[in-house]
Amino acid sequence: MTSISPLLLATEGFSLNTNIFDTNIINLIIVIVVLVWFLKGFLGGILERRREAILADLKDAEERLLIASKALEEGQLELAQAQATAQKILSDGKKRAMAIREDSEMRTIQEMARIRQDAVANLSAETARVVELLRLETARFAVEKAIAALPGKLNASIQAKLIDRSIEALG
């Protein structure tokens, strides 16, 4: 504490110097006014240009935001339309596939029925052909048997009667 006391004694207390020339208040006021006047134009211009640049950037950003918002809305609308179109194409494709499948099934059934009818017709024709062959074979066999049996059963008088009847039948 002893080192602070001599310092306080040397200054003789605290007081305000009101002498304008001694304190350079006029010089300070002049310097401050000149600085404010010169810096107002210089700093004010810089600040004004900066303010205008910031406002221009904000305006540009707002315009780009509006354009992007409109593009987003259009994109969402186009997406919705594309999804609706895709859904319609898918639905139409399913319907078409179902119609093709049903048509194919109907054609298969009809073809199977036609094949069955052809098989039945072929079977009937084959049956008739076999029956005709059997009838012809039976008739041929009967004629051969009759011809083989005739010589032993025909005598001269029976042969003469048979010839007379054949001549009468022709005449």
List pLDDT tens digits, range 54-99: 999 999 999 999 999 999 999 999 999 999 999 999 999 999 999 9
d(CA 83, CA 97): 21
pLDDT value at residue 17: 63
pLDDT range class, residue 6, cuts 50, 70, 90: low
d(CA 83, CA 92): 14
- Please, where are the H alpha helices in the chain? 4-11, 20-23, 25-153, 156-170
List pLDDT tens digits, range 91-125: 999 999 999 999 999 999 999 999 999 999 999 99
Q: Measured at the alpha carbon of residue 156, what is the angle toward residues 152 and 162, in degrees to the nearest 5?
A: 90
82 or 165: which carries more pLDDT confidence?
Answer: 82
pLDDT surpasses 60 at 4: no
Residue 67: helix, strand or coil by DSSP? Answer: helix
Domain boundaries, the chain: 4-170
d(CA 62, CA 75): 19
